[in-house]
Amino acid sequence: QPARNYLRKGWELDPDNALFPYSLGLLEAELGDLSRAVGYLEECTAMQPDFSRAWYNLSLAYNQLGRTKEAEQAMNRARRP
């Protein structure tokens, strides 16, 4: 997957940029690998705890994996001002 490779390379060059794990998480979710998506989105939210869109997408991925408690917690984080 060329997009995955470009994003990983970009993240190597700019490791403090939370948009790279966020974008990788969205890509993996789109490709159907929700476990990998969760890993990237968790990394993103650890890097940038106020990134509400990342929390929202993490909540969706958790929910699709049946991790409802974590999905609820992530959605609550997404809604924080």
CATH code of the domain containing 30:
1.25.40.10
Assign residue 67 a region (left: φ > 0; alpha: ψ between -120 and 50; beta: otherwise). beta
Compute the distance between CA of residue 32 and CA of residue 11 in angstroms, rounded to an integer.
21
The total number of structural domains in the chain stands at 1
CA-only gyration radius of the chain, Å: 12
Dihedral, CA of residue 8, residue 30, residue 44 and residue 72, to nearest 10:
-160
- The model's pLDDT over 3-54, given as tens digits with 9 standing for 90+, comes to 999 999 999 999 999 999 999 999 999 999 999 999 999 999 999 999 999 9
Question: Which residue range forms the structural domain that includes residue 7?
Answer: 2-79
CB atoms closer than 10 angstroms to residue 20: 23
Compute the distance between CA of residue 77 and CA of residue 50 in angstroms, rounded to an integer.
8
pTM for the model: 0.94
